[in-house]
Amino acid sequence: KQKGGHTLDRALRALHEQFKGAFLSASQFMDASQGRHPLAIEEAYSEMLISALRENEHVFFDDLQLIENVTSCSGFYPRRGMLDTMLTHVCEFAQHNGNKLVFTTENQPLSPLYLRSHSGGVYHFVQDDYKFLCEQFLGERAADLNYDDLYRFAPRLNGHQIRSAAR
């Protein structure tokens, strides 16, 4: 996922629209966590995913880094590494039952996902990407733009920002 952008959010929603199944995000995770002990993050996440996998062939989860940042990025978190264990369990469950899991994250995939998946990303756009997106959003008006200047002065725009500027 491109940091600060919504490019993969849109791609994940498009995949969900095509393949159907469950679309989960941090909001659903927070709902699943209500009433639990604060250190039961991994269990709440695992139960939410397993429940979705039991009912759907495809499960899409957006913004995994929001959970990962809490459980993996602090030396003070007492259950460090538990998220890896839980993801291993969920991936094995999905594989055994013929399910497909799709995650988006701003971070590198955690080991259990990396070892069992195909990963890809949307990286910073180049000048040709700017031109393509502007043509999509502006139509004929895109021919009036100087893409050399646009890219030179704003080389780190994401798709959401280009779309917003085109409005």
d(C-alpha 7, C-alpha 123), whole Å = 10
Mean pLDDT of the chain: 89
The whole-model pTM stands at: 0.74
Nearest CA to 99 among 22, 42, 13?
22
Tabulate helix, strand, coil % of the chain (nearest 5). 60, 5, 35
Mind listing the pLDDT tens digit for each residue in 10-22? 788 889 999 999 9
The pLDDT confidence band at residue 2, using thresholds 50, 70 and 90, is very low
pLDDT at 38: 87
pLDDT at 3: 46
Share above pLDDT 70 across residues of the chain, in percent, rounded to a whole number = 93
Lowest mean pLDDT among 22-31, 65-74, 95-104, 138-147: 65-74
pLDDT at 5: 47
Residue 4 pLDDT greater than 60, yes or no: no
Q: Average pLDDT, stretch 40-44?
A: 93
Mind listing the pLDDT tens digit for each residue in 67-126? 888 887 667 888 888 999 999 999 999 999 999 999 988 888 888 998 898 887 777 889
Q: Output DSSP code: residue 109.
A: P
CA atoms within 13 Å, Cβ hemisphere of 66 = 13
> Any idea of the CA torsion for 11, 48, 39, 26, to the nearest 10 degrees?
30
Residue 1 pLDDT greater than 60, yes or no: no
Share above pLDDT 90 across residues of the chain, in percent, rounded to a whole number = 59
